[in-house]
Structure 1
Amino acid sequence: MDNRRLLSRPSQLRDFGAKLRLTAMLFGCDNQKALDALFREADPNTDFDIARSYKWMQGRAAPRSAKLYEEWARLLDAGRSSEWLATCELDAFVAALEARHGAAAAALRTAIASSPDDAAPSGQDGFLPGRFAVYSLAQSPYYEGRFIRSDLALGPSNPAEPGHPARLGETFAGVRAVWSGLIEESAQGLSGELRNENGALSPSYLALVRPTLPGSLLAGLQTGFVSLQPGAQRPFATRIAALRIPDLAVDRLAESNRYLEDETGIAADLDALGLPIGEAPGFAEDLGRWLRQADERDGPNRVSEIASLVEIADRLWLRTL
């Protein structure tokens, strides 16, 4: 198979990236390692390359290996050739999966916000922008042991700027503080420095695990300086988890920022924001445990495996669509 035609068309590259992300979603793969394992189940000598797959899924490049397309076609089992798989339009791809996998694939059409008559190919911008409820451990000594709920807004990237416009808001001591800047994408993940909009507080830095479609949970680390404490500000690093919320809850997201006593507060907050938390017993407890975790292997300031949290967050988000 000659892939030069595929590689020469930006629209087909975007379609290719979306098709690979939808494949990962169909089979429950929440990261590149899981997708690599899926291909290796089909062929231990697969040509799937984890390092290159980041660019593939972003629609910035496509594999040249004909063997990889053949492996992919076998995995999908949709009765289509590897050549068709490489060059078909996104809507036709989803339709083929619906015909073969039924309800499991039907949710994919909702995830890409397309209809039978209107394909919606997109790159990373197609699912990353949105509004998120952010949870982390409170760093102020006045609220030790509690969680702080903040809000995050991510906008579409601009070709003239190297990242997604971001605004992170918190409320403490009766004051709303907002940090803004650009969150940039790399092969490793998402990261960026956000500066306080009125200049009174220190910057905040985010380093997040690269999300996959539908981007329901952004998890990683936040570093900065404690704003509410006696004496001089001291530096901190904490785990954070940002959950995408439905549009109907956007208007009340910022105004409901606050400290939460414990994991039951996280559950109640997610429920109030329109995520069907009742369908995922134990999720809030697991999320709180992950935020507090400082296991011996990873240490307190590294991000350990989050696959199980991502899977449940995806299911909760898709139930809102």
Structure 2
Amino acid sequence: MIQPVSTELIKELQEKIDFKTKPIGSLGTLETIAKQIGSIQNTLSPSLSKPTILVFAGDHGIVQDQPVSPYPQEVTQQMIFNFLQGGAAINIFCNQNNIDLKIVDAGVNADFDGHTALLNYKVAKGTFNYSKKPAMTKLQLEEALNKGKTIVTDLYKNGSNIVGFGEMGIGNTSSASLLLSYFTNTPIENCVGKGTGLDDKGVNKKGEILRNVYDLHTPNIKCSEDALQHFGGFEIVMMCGAMLQAASLNMTILVDGFIVTSALLAAYYIDKNILDYCIFSHTSGEQGHKIMLDHLKVSPLLNLGMRLGEGSGVAVAFPIIQSAIAFLNKMATFKSANVSEAN
């Protein structure tokens, strides 16, 4: 159960901000972030301790016989090796901003024997093909949710109080589109985008395939967990469990793009208090992401046209969050700086 963020300190946080050497409200969104993190941590002097990005990877059965992605499934495995070797965008951005990066095998269709840097929480070697049956069993759903909670609990015990989420999985924009359609009641055709690079003909075909998938499963979906079981990937479900646990531990949650927000959307309909703990890093170039953000009534920090995934938006936005905490804790007040206040 997630507790609502404390509002007891909001007035004091606002006063602390307003007495800084600046016009009232002149730091805009930075002030909002400072108040949010102060409220999450229930302190006037919040800190960012051991910031970490978790990249969850999983494969999807749908890509084995349906053209929903221009890339073959083995790219998921290949990108895992790229992450482990430090060659991906997320590696570069995390190194740049001193963010710890952890790669999680939630359900990749490959073995990674001997790779100790990879967190092995594999549920299975990819989901079932949901053009024919639910993506996973109820037991697999529960396993993935619980493993996500375990991963975040371990981070928390190691001193982290802020965690970002990223993903990798060929075919996972299809799962995100289906979840978006279900939770927001948006026609599936409006939820489908280019993913990893489909042309217009490919997008239309993907929409037709996912319409059939949606119609097959929705009669049997009654709640968030059902939607995840039928449409999700193991990486999406594991992120959902991890996010719920992070909020229950009063950690700040940094949300990446389209796929990560689909996991957050499911978590939101399990416990709406989670939204108080979330900072949305950017607006993805994937068309369905704006629908998600508008549905949640949230404003992301950046809009750079990015649609890479991997948690890249989180890593790029992180210095903004650092700036919010830095000004709150270190900026002089009118009194300490001997600066005259406004009349």
Structure number with the higher strand fraction is 1
Greater relative contact order (Cα 8 A, min sep 6): structure 1 or 2?
2
Q: What is the TM-score with the length of structure 2 in the denominator?
A: 0.26
TM-score (norm: length of structure 1): 0.27
